[in-house]
Amino acid sequence: MLQISVIRENTEKVIAGLRKKHFANAENIITQVLEIDTQRRQAQKEQDDTLAESNRLSKQIGVLMKEGKTAEAEQTKIQAKNLSEEAKKLVDKVNELEEQLRQILVTIPNIPSEQVPEGKTAEENVVVHQHGEIPNLPENALPHWELIVKYNIIDFELGNKVTGAGFPFYKGKGAKLQRALINFFLDEAEKAGYYEVQPPILVNKDSGFGTGQLPDKDGQMYYVGADELYLIPTAEVPITNIYRDVILELKDLPIRNVGYTPCFRREAGSWGADVRGLNRLHQFDKVEIVQIQHPEKSYEALEEMRLYVQGLLEKLELPYRVVKLCGGDMSFTSALTYDMEVYSAAQKKWLEVSSVSNFESYQANRLKLRFRDENKKVQLLHTLNGSALALPRIVAAMLENNQTTEGIRIPKVLRPYTGFEKIG
């Protein structure tokens, strides 16, 4: 959530940033925010002045009584009482205006960094790095949704029977490959200085609000109504919320956490060729990295996280590219996002497998996640996270790119984890 002080002091910059994100009616909404804020501050001043005058008169009553000015003291009591009642009305007015302000602020996305390119759709994202050679597969190469049937490693029909579309079963070497990737990603994160946590996969409304999924993505999350809990769309939600309502010390920074969880997304309205097979699921496995950083070091940390994810893709021998998202293709909460895409040779297209993002203070403001600086002043921290990595499209690309006449080759780095060199 944007700080009201930022909107007040950098109005034109905020409006320009929201326009870059193609946020509708940016100027009108920011104008409305400032008007309510002005009313709120005026009401707060009236409340403070009224209470101060009431307190002043209350102190006078005792003096007047001692001086024997009973009639004047009684009159002063009436004035003080009237002022106290007026102050109570002003408290209600301030609270009402604060709630109006909050209701609007939660609908306003984060403003993008100056580094974010202009653009409205994914076609206008900017490729900043590319690595590896595109595999040259034979004409009869199969897409992964046919390979998984051929080698009986992932079963969509069984998943559809037991649960529904988008909830596959992983079987045999398919299940072992999933476990191998998860353990590989966790081990690599630990080597890079990330502290592992295993969070719950259900969160409450406050947690969903803290990281910005609620109210923005309410319809995309699975909701357990009886208990008012949500299935997580990513481990970012529970891990970042560890630090909700926390004030950290400088010595605590930076914080680096990693966690593996299944993730759940309704993906309402998704259809077509782009969602075949593993391209888009309702339940999938992901290892997530999260950083809590000093505001002056968050962009340095973002580059570090980007390079780390690139290193994972290189160890998996996958051709990939790094894309800087344009304003119109960014998430609600992000200030700057890099997408990592691997090339799927049988599908002949790039598949997003990771997003690494800096949210600056946007999430921290919702979370009330702060630190004490060198002068003991309390300030908001910056939060970052990234997929390191999401499994479905990694598996899809690995299966397609590594298919041979003898079977599917397993990358060397994974063989100690799988216990086998090929599927087939």
Based on the fold, state whether residues 191 and 52 are members of the same structural domain.
no
Please give the pLDDT value at position 64: 83
Pair (30, 172) in one structural domain: no
Task: Give pLDDT, residue 268.
Answer: 59
State residue 42's pLDDT score. 96
Domain count, the chain: 2
Can you give the pLDDT at residue 198? 98
Q: Among 41, 75, 105, identify where a domain stops.
A: 105
Same domain, 100 and 155: no
Binding-site residues, in ranges, read 234, 265-267, 288, 352-355, 385
Which residues lie below 8 Å from residue 52, measured CB to CB, with a gap of 6+? none
Give every CB contact of residue 395 below 8 A, 6+ residues apart in sequence. Answer: 144, 177, 178, 181, 278
pTM above 0.85, yes or no: yes
Q: Does a structural domain hold residue 116? A: no
Beta-sheet pairing, 223-224 with 229-231: antiparallel
> Is 48 among the domain residues?
yes
Same domain, 135 and 60: no
Residues in the chain: 424
Binding positions for ATP: 265-267, 352-355
- Would you state the structure tokens that stand for residue 295, as one six-digit string? 């505001």
Annotated binding site for L-serine: 234, 265, 288, 385
Is residue 286 within 8 Å of 260, Cβ to Cβ? yes
Q: Residue 321 belongs to a domain with what CATH number? A: 3.30.930.10
pLDDT score of 232? 98
Which stretches does DSSP call E strand in 58-152?
Answer: 126-131
Task: Please report, as a single letter, which amino acid is at residue 184.
Answer: F
Contact 167, 159 (CB under 8 A): yes
Which CATH number characterizes residue 48's domain? 1.10.287.40
Give average pLDDT by consecutive 10-residue segment, the chain, 424 residues.
97 98 97 97 93 86 83 86 89 95 96 97 97 91 96 97 96 98 98 98 97 90 95 98 98 98 81 74 97 98 98 98 98 98 95 97 98 95 98 97 96 98 96
Query: Domain limits at 29?
Result: 4-105
